[in-house]
Amino acid sequence: MPARPEVVFAGTNGGALDRVEDYEAAGGFRALAKARAMAPDDVIAELEVSGLRGRGGAFFPTGRKWAFVPKPEQLAKPHYLVVNADESEPGTFKDREIILRVPFRFLEGCLIAAYAIQSQHVFVYIRGEYEREFEVLRDALEAMRKRDLLGEITVVLHRGAGAYICGEETALLESLEGRRGQPRTKPPFPAIAGLYAAPTAVNNVESITTVTSVLELGAAEYATLGVENSTGTRVFSLSGDVVTPGNYELPHGITLRELIYDVGGGVPGGRDLKAIIPGGSSTAILTASEIDTPLDFDSLVKAGSSIGSAGVVVIDDRCCMVQLGIRVSQFYEHESCGKCTPCRVGTRWLTQILQKIEDGRSSQADLDLLLSVCDRILGKCLCPLGDSDAIAVASYVDRFRDEFQAHIETGRCPLGGDSSLEGILAPSAQHERHLHEVVHA
């Protein structure tokens, strides 16, 4: 069993620290006091030392991001902290548990971050489907307000309404400003011109919660956890074909094997591991033979994938990889915001080609076309959403080409209707039913 130092969930003993008294008794709000006794720039420096990097997916150093935010003297506009609680990346469900179990540590982090970037306004953009999480935060805020912990700072909980793209930071800002959640071109970056065109830091819930811990532990101490370039712990979301799925806080650098077998109890029913999605559905898939890959930024890049949002999906041998491709592609097609051409058109086209392969109506040319369309999406979109589909689908072909080939050559799925994803009804297939379609010659 790997060591399991708890930072984000420290003091919860497997439960929740969701009462303000308990949190305070457990040493809560000390980090905030500590931060407020420092100069804002020193808080930022502390974060830089800690090596903390963003937990939302892009892994950008948190301290450096804050350092980009101009000082109020340099830019006399209100400054904003926007927290990304839109968690919608398939395979990821950690922010939700953080909010439920350590709401005060999270909110404390918000106040520290706001202090560091000299902002008076915090917006927490929480995905609309998170009802209870919203209520927990609302009550926690109220409790803090009663204790006068907020000071001059206003914290607004802003609920999304069902759109994955609003997790992308600029789309989130558009949505928060009351528009369609479509990403903006960068530059300008949010640090300079973000919410209402004012300097804005956008950070993930886990990143912000970890900020509290960094201040509490001290940056140097925090940096001893994890591995080089990926310091500290990470809340891994483990799901799919695994005995005990759930969120596990572990230091960066533990291997997939340790996570899946030692922590997660392995694949149920003694079945064979077939594939692993290591960082949410937008990351490239790994095969069972890559089970000893460590879960940290550099190792996963070396393996041709990415740590992403640390949502690990375990897939056993019952799953057809073409069907997986269809289902993942349907997701991106459904969630494409529709702004840029390659993503809007390409994601739908990928689904169609994959469906044709699954249906056994395809030829070699279709597989070539599939990869070519992936290529033509990749690197040409306005934001990474389209890329995600292309990366995922291309990786399925790359790692499981035999299976794709078998579909083409035999005209049927090798799993013969027994795939665990057989017949799965995606929302996009539901509303395809409403579309007018005619056959085009």
Partner 1 sequence: MPDLVTLTVDDRQVEVPKGTGLVEAAQAAAIEIPVFCYEPRLGPPVGACRMCLVEIEGMPKLQAGCTLTAQDGMVVRTAATSASAAEGQESTLEFILVNHPLDCPVCDKGGECPLQDLTFRYGPGSTRMSFSKLTFDKPIPVSPLIALDRERCILCYRCTRFSEDVAEDGLLIARNRGAQSEIATFEDEPYRSPFSGNVIELCPVGALTSTLYRFEARPWDIQNVPTVCTGCSVGCNVSATIREGKVKRILSRNHPEIDRGWLCDKGRFTYPHLRATDRITTPLRRGPKGLEEITWDGALDSAEAMLREAEGGIVTALSGSETSEIAYALGRLLREGLGAHSAVLPEATSDALDAFRLPLSAIAEAELLVVVGDDPVVERAPIVDLWIKEAGRRGADVVTCSPTGTVQTQPGGGAELCRELSEPRNRLGRRLRRAARAVLIWSGPGGGGGARIAELAHDLGFDGKPGCGAFHLPATPNARGAAEAWSVAADQDEIDVDHVKLLVVSGDDAAAAPSVRSLAERADAVIVMTMFHELAGGWADLILPATAALERDGTTMNLEGRIQRLRRAVLSPCPDELTWISKLAERFDVDISPHAAGVFAKLAERLFRDLSLDEIGLHAPLPPRHAYETPAAATTPAPTPLPTPTDVHFVGELRLQRYQPLFSGPAVDRVPELSFQRPPREVELSAADANRRGIASGDAVLVRSNGTSVELRASVNRKLVDGVARVAAEHAADLHPSVEVLKS
Partner 2 sequence: MTTAIYSRVQKLRKQYPEPTSAVLPALRLAQEEHGGWLPPEALREVADALDVTPAFCLSIASFYDQLRLEPVGRHLVEVCTNVSCALAGAQQVVEAFERGLGISAGTTSADGGFTLGTVECLGGCGWATVVAIDNRHRLRVQAEDVAGIIEELHAREA
Ligand X SMILES: Cc1cc2nc3c(=O)[nH]c(=O)nc-3n(C[C@H](O)[C@H](O)[C@H](O)COP(=O)(O)O)c2cc1C
Interacting residue with partner 2 among 425, 438, 439, 441 (CB under 8 A): 425
Q: How far is the CB of 178 from partner 1 (least distance, A)?
A: 12
What is the Cα Rg of the chain in Å? 22
Interacting residue with ligand X among 57, 160, 346, 386 (CB under 6 A): 57
Question: Tokens representing 271?
Answer: 């079945």
Residues 6+ apart with CB under 8 A from 146: none
Q: Could you say whether residue 333 binds partner 1 (CB under 8 A)?
A: yes
Which of the choices partner 1, partner 2, ligand X, none does residue 130 contact, using the CB cut-off of 5 to 8 A by kind? partner 2
What is the DSSP annotation of 56-112? TTT--BHHHHHHHSPPTTTS-S--EEEEEE---STT--HHHHHHHH-HHHHHHHHHH
Compare residues 139 and 432 and give the one whose CB is closer to partner 1.
432
Interacting residue with partner 2 among 65, 184, 327, 356 (CB under 8 A): 327
Which of the choices partner 2, ligand X, partner 1, none does residue 438 contact, using the CB cut-off of 5 to 8 A by kind? partner 1
Q: How far is the CB of 320 from ligand X (least distance, A)?
A: 26
Residues 6+ apart with CB under 8 A from 43: 35, 112, 115, 116, 215
Answer for the pair 437, 354: CB distance below 8 angstroms, yes or no.
no
Part of the chain binding partner 2 (CB under 8 A), chosen from 41-49, 360-368, 372-380, 421-429:
421-429
Within 10 A of 341 (CB to CB), how many other CB atoms are there?
13
Q: Could you say whether residue 424 binds partner 2 (CB under 8 A)?
A: yes
Helices (H), 336-433: 341-358, 364-377, 384-399, 401-410, 427-432
Interacting residue with partner 1 among 352, 406, 420, 426 (CB under 8 A): 352
Number of residues near partner 2 (by CB under 8 A) = 65
Kindly report the length of the chain.
Answer: 441
Q: Could you say whether residue 306 binds ligand X (CB under 6 A)?
A: no
Answer for the pair 83, 208: CB distance below 8 angstroms, yes or no.
yes
Compare residues 70 and 384 and give the one whose CB is closer to ligand X.
384
Per CB under 8 A, residues contacting partner 1 are: 163, 180, 185, 333-342, 344-349, 352, 369, 372, 376-377, 379-382, 431, 435-440
By CB under 6 A, name the binding residues for ligand X. 54-58, 60, 84, 86-89, 165, 167-169, 202-204, 207, 383-385
